[in-house]
Amino acid sequence: MTLLSDGTKTIAATRTSTRAWIPVGCLIFATGALVLTSLEPRELSAASKSMLGPDFDSDGLADSMEMILGTSLDSDDTDGDGYDDIEEIARASDPLDPKSVPNTNPLSVGIYAYAEAGYFNLHAAVYVRDGDFDQLDFELGVVLKDKKFPVSQAVYSSSTRIFFYQGVRRGQDRLVILEMPIPDDVVTKVGSFGLYSLVRDRDEGSAPREPAIAVTAFTEINGFPMEVIPAPRVLNKGGGIVYRPLTGEGAVPSSSSTGQICWQGISAVGTSGASILFEVDSASCEDFDSFCGGSECSASVGKVIGLPDPGTLLGG
For residue 25, what pLDDT is reported?
Answer: 37
Cut 0.85: pTM above it:
no
Q: What domains does the chain contain, in order, with CATH numbers?
A: 2-216 (2.60.40.10), 219-315 (no CATH)
Could you list the pLDDT tens digit for every one of the 316 residues in the chain?
A: 222 223 333 333 333 333 333 333 333 333 344 444 443 333 222 222 344 567 787 777 888 788 888 888 888 888 888 888 888 888 988 888 888 888 888 899 999 888 877 788 888 888 888 777 767 888 888 999 999 988 877 666 666 777 777 766 666 788 888 888 877 777 677 878 999 999 988 776 667 888 999 999 998 887 788 899 999 888 899 999 999 888 766 667 777 888 899 999 999 999 999 999 999 999 999 998 888 988 889 999 999 999 999 999 998 6
Report which DSSP code applies to 235.
G
In the chain, beta strands by DSSP E: 2-5, 11-14, 26-30, 33-37, 107-116, 119-128, 136-144, 147-150, 161-166, 174-183, 193-201, 212-221, 224-230, 241-245, 257-272, 275-292, 304-308
For residue 301, what pLDDT is reported?
Answer: 96
